[in-house]
Structure 1
């Protein structure tokens, strides 16, 4: 059995990958804060089963939609994301629903969650090395 097959290590690794992808989506929201008609997106949080596997692995892929030919195309194919419907702020007259304050708070929370997951991942591996005797 490999170290990466352990449920705790697999869950932490999946969580960090999800947080990296979420950070990209939040950055796209901030980058499109002035794009007319753009709606902020966010990723659905993964749910883990007791064996460490991701329960939401079969989510459909939702790509970004270009509302104008002048907009840049998305670099990635998208990921399991959803358009946010509820925000604390109103839409601008151009139809843009991105709140920079909300996005920056979410990005800061996501960064601190990623740092916590990476610390737990590192400590788990150190504990395993100690148990093995290295």
Structure 2
């Protein structure tokens, strides 16, 4: 048995562990759009996956900062990165306004929800494969 060996989830799974969370958040947003399809004035939103993914990858790769706040007016380093509103966007409808101000197009939302679900499942299969390989490596080292 190998002693003192530790496994870093960031090294083992890369950004794919964060992808699962992003896909889950996107599913919630898309489901909320579908649930509000008949709500007057509701504006369809979507999570910008590319921006959220880049943010997750950036946070993962970033080295701990040695910045020191010497003045109370200095901006905190983490305040720059923790801006989830940058990943949420309002969706522009393909068809003209229905008159009640609602921008949810049910067919578009369903398609995006199903596509997000397929990508979530693909990521899950990838992670399961990685976990199986890690389990095999651990069994072999014992």
Q: Does 1:22 align with 2:41?
A: no
Q: Does 1:4 align with 2:9?
A: yes
Q: Determine helix, strand or coil for the equivalent of 1:133.
A: helix
Give how far 1:130 is off.
Answer: 1.9
- Structure scoring higher RCO (CA < 8 A, sep ≥ 6) equals 2
Larger fraction in helix: 2
The structure 2 residue matched to 1:82, chosen from 62, 68, 89, is: 89
Give how far 1:53 is off.
Answer: 4.3
**Structure 2 segments unaligned to the other structure (5+ residues):** 1-5, 63-79
Contact 2:15 2:57 in 1 (8 A): no
- Separation in 1, partners of 2:111, 2:57: 29
Give how far 1:12 is off.
Answer: 1.2
The structure 2 residue matched to 1:92, chosen from 69, 94, 98, is: 98
Count of aligned positions? 114
Q: TM-score, normalised by structure 1?
A: 0.73
Aligned pairs (5 A) from 1:58-73: 58-61=82-85
Change (3 A) 1:33 1:53: farther
- Separation in 2, partners of 1:44, 1:122: 25
**Structure 1 segments unaligned to the other structure (5+ residues):** 63-79
Where does residue 119 of structure 2 map in the other structure? 113
Q: Does 1:34 align with 2:38?
A: yes
- Separation in 2, partners of 1:50, 1:132: 29
- The alignment yields a C-alpha RMSD, in angstroms, of 2.5
Give how far 1:10 is off.
Answer: 3.9
Flag as ranges the 4+ runs of structure 1 deviating above 3 A: 48-54
- Separation in 1, partners of 2:118, 2:23: 10
- Separation in 2, partners of 1:94, 1:3: 51
Which has the higher Rg, Structure 1 or Structure 2? 2
